[in-house]
Chain A
Amino acid sequence: MTTLANDVAPGPETTADAHPAVLTVEGLRTHFFTKAGVVKAVDDVSFTVGRGEVLGLVGESGSGKSMTGYSLMGLIDPPGRIVDGRIVLDGTDLRALNAEQLRHMRGNRVAMIFQDPMMTLNPVLRIDVQMIEAILAHEAVGKAAARARAREALVRVGIPSPDERLEAYPHQFSGGMRQRVAIAIAMLNSPDLIIADEPTTALDVTIQGQILYEMQKLTRETGTALIWITHDLSVVAGLADRVCVMYAGRIVEQGTTEEVLSHPAHPYTRGLLDSVPANNERGQRLKQIPGMTPSMLELPPGCPFRERCTYATVECASSPPTVAIGVHGHTVRCFHPLAA
């Protein structure tokens, strides 16, 4: 694999080969064993993320995208369990680690940002406490040094008067600021990978734009890989180098952003793109994907998208499609990838 020099900004044309893989996921399966049945929340998911690359993980609620993120962090609790697959972060096999070792990876080599910063920051603890503990959990530095690093992190995410802010409580910040704090915390220990689970969904659109920009800038500057989980295609379009589209726990399409968004090969991706209001004509009814997401407890045999797909054939009902290379060169999980 060729490696690029660090100062070349990755653009939409570059493929996965241009970045050495910092994360490799192969055949990840996370199942939930509930009284009502087994939910295959993550079903045979494979992808790689290169150093400094931004990967968009797109899907609707229940598609398994957040569960994928939690699986990578080792935050799946009973009745859920990772049943199969390989997760390799910069040479370390995460699944081979015991609980204590995994804990040392979290917040250190791989960090996560959640959707609602008001709920993720502890309302009764000061910001400096919550930041310093993230440092001290992984490194034995003095409190003063840790505090200085925290202050620096706040400056880097664009928070004014960092000294005052350190002594404040979460409820004294606006939503956008809190999310910046969460980002700062994620970056404190210079992780190799940041997983952002819908970080801008709870914020208004203008703040969204700012946060997106900040994150992009930060990851480019530091070379941190980023997995951005979202249901919003427009976010992905502007931000990600590569995209994975998920449906019912599986990745149905994967490729560079440009490829996937201009030449979608999977009918679901096509449907998603068509339903974006901006892509519709004025005065016409908005296009929708017919039907509803199937219950994860009662997935139909064969392709899970079959019942909503206008191109479905008998073959689609018999067995789930395997991964194939579509017409335009990127991978898709469909018996009838679109050619347009």
Chain B
Amino acid sequence: MRTVLPETPAAPAERAAESPFHRIATDFLSNPVAVVGLGMLMLVVLAAVFAPLISPQNPYDLSQLDVMDGRLPPGSKSPTGGTFWLGTDDQGRDMLSAIFYGLRISLAVGATATVLALIIGLSAGLTAAYFGGKTETVIMRIVDIQLSFPAILIALILIAVLGQGTGKVIAALVTIQWAYYARTVRSAALVEKRKEYMEAARCLALSPVRIVFRHLLPNCLPPMIVVATVQVAAAIALEATLSFLGLGLPITEPSLGLLIANGYQYLLSGKYWISFFPGVALLLTIVSINLVADQLRDVLNPRLQK
């Protein structure tokens, strides 16, 4: 129920003088929710990166563990004089430390998979868009078919076929994700292809590689950034799910999903903290990434820019 506003000519182009990055940054920070999201995300990343430095205990150094300390509730005192702020798991590991290390692994796997998928997907999508014709049809058909299947299914089948292990989990994640990037970049590239600067580049007889990488790619980046951000969260969530099902990372690389799986059996006897806190950490990570991605999407959307 909106009447269209009477037309007003655009406000003078004062903002063109700022660099795009500056403008994006200011737009982004204007939304308090996004700032909170970014803040949380920074905390998570810092915790993951500096895990060995800030953990009270190295949870994977067997010499530091004592099974007798197992399953202690949050706030219990540790024999070395510290506090198990978030309790311990069945092996006597301090949950807080386990979570920091787990964050590290979850983020590392998620980020690695995303970057690899991004590279593959970008290449495929740009190739499809640039060359068109049969190449495009074949590539996009594969993308379509793949995207019509739920990620979890593809992941499970791949793990079933390839077997388990960190590398294979990353491979599965990459296989699932590349299609999103391919599709997004191809749509963006198709739009850009028609613009004049592309024609100019072709007239200058620049090599296709150069055209694609130095002219086409930078202009397709904004939607890609949004997709990549969302996909990191999705990759982290998917890896956690796989690990929970026992089909993800091996126990030598305990991601948050594995921690949660560990705690599952103790849930029914009331020792909730073994599953609860890693879950909260996972939740915070994913929510903060999604909040940032949401705001990025609005900020980078050319249609909303005046």
Residue positions of A touching B, CB distance < 8 A: 32, 34, 36, 39, 41, 61-62, 64, 67, 70, 75-77, 80, 292-293, 295-297
Enumerate B260-276 residues with CB–CB distance to A below 8 Å.
none
**Whole-angstrom distance between the Cβ of B139 and the nearest chain A Cβ:** 34
Chain B residues within 8 Å of A75, by CB: 3
Q: How far is the CA of A168 from the CA of B214 in the complex (A)?
A: 53
Chain B residue, CB-CB nearest to A42? B6
Asked whether, in the complex, the Cβ of B3 is within 8 Å of the Cβ of A34, the reply is no
Q: How far is the CA of A295 from the CA of B12 in the complex (A)?
A: 11
Asked whether, in the complex, the Cβ of A62 is within 8 Å of the Cβ of B7, the reply is yes
Q: How far is the CA of A19 from the CA of B9 in the complex (A)?
A: 40
Q: How far is the CA of A292 from the CA of B7 in the complex (A)?
A: 13
Asked whether, in the complex, the Cβ of A295 is within 8 Å of the Cβ of B8, the reply is yes
Enumerate B1-34 residues with CB–CB distance to A below 8 Å.
1-3, 5-9, 11
Q: Which of B5, B7, B11 contacts A61 (CB 8 A)?
A: B7
State the majority secondary structure of interface residues on A. loop
Chain B residue, CB-CB nearest to A249? B6
Chain A residues within 8 Å of B11, by CB: 36
Asked whether, in the complex, the Cβ of A39 is within 8 Å of the Cβ of B3, the reply is no
Extra inter-chain contacts (8) besides given A62-B7, A70-B3, CB under 8 Å:
A32-B6, A34-B5, A39-B6, A41-B6, A75-B3, A80-B5, A295-B9, A296-B6
Asked whether, in the complex, the Cβ of B3 is within 8 Å of the Cβ of A80, the reply is yes
Count residues on chain B whose CB falls below 8 Å from chain A CBs. Answer: 9
**Whole-angstrom distance between the Cβ of B125 and the nearest chain A Cβ:** 33
Residue positions of B touching A, CB distance < 8 A: 1-3, 5-9, 11
Asked whether, in the complex, the Cβ of A67 is within 8 Å of the Cβ of B6, the reply is yes
**Whole-angstrom distance between the Cβ of B305 and the nearest chain A Cβ:** 16
Known contacts A77-B1, A77-B2; is A297 also within 8 Å of B8 by CB?
yes
**Whole-angstrom distance between the Cβ of B12 and the nearest chain A Cβ:** 10
Q: How far is the CA of A295 from the CA of B8 in the complex (A)?
A: 5
22 A-B pairs, CB-CB below 8 angstroms?
A: A32-B5, A32-B6, A34-B5, A36-B8, A36-B11, A39-B5, A39-B6, A39-B8, A41-B6, A61-B7, A62-B7, A64-B6, A76-B3, A77-B1, A77-B2, A80-B3, A292-B9, A295-B8, A295-B9, A296-B6, A296-B8, A297-B8
Q: Which among B6, B7, B8, B9 has the highest number of chain A CB atoms within 10 Å?
A: B6
Top 5 nearest A-B pairs (CB, nearest first) are A41-B6, A62-B7, A295-B9, A296-B8, A70-B3
**Whole-angstrom distance between the Cβ of B15 and the nearest chain A Cβ:** 14
**Whole-angstrom distance between the Cβ of A196 and the nearest chain B Cβ:** 17
**Whole-angstrom distance between the Cβ of B255 and the nearest chain A Cβ:** 46
**Whole-angstrom distance between the Cβ of B304 and the nearest chain A Cβ:** 15
Q: How far is the CA of A34 from the CA of B306 in the complex (A)?
A: 15
Chain A residues within 8 Å of B8, by CB: 36, 39, 62, 295-297
Chain B residue, CB-CB nearest to A60? B7
Q: How far is the CA of A64 from the CA of B8 in the complex (A)?
A: 11
Q: How far is the CA of A61 from the CA of B11 in the complex (A)?
A: 18
Q: How far is the CA of A15 from the CA of B3 in the complex (A)?
A: 34
**Whole-angstrom distance between the Cβ of A66 and the nearest chain B Cβ:** 8
Chain A residues within 8 Å of B2, by CB: 77
Chain B residues within 8 Å of A296, by CB: 6-8
Q: How far is the CA of A296 from the CA of B11 in the complex (A)?
A: 11
Chain B residue, CB-CB nearest to A73? B3
Q: Which of A36, A62, A77, A292 contacts B6 (CB 8 A)?
A: A62
Q: How far is the CA of A34 from the CA of B9 in the complex (A)?
A: 14
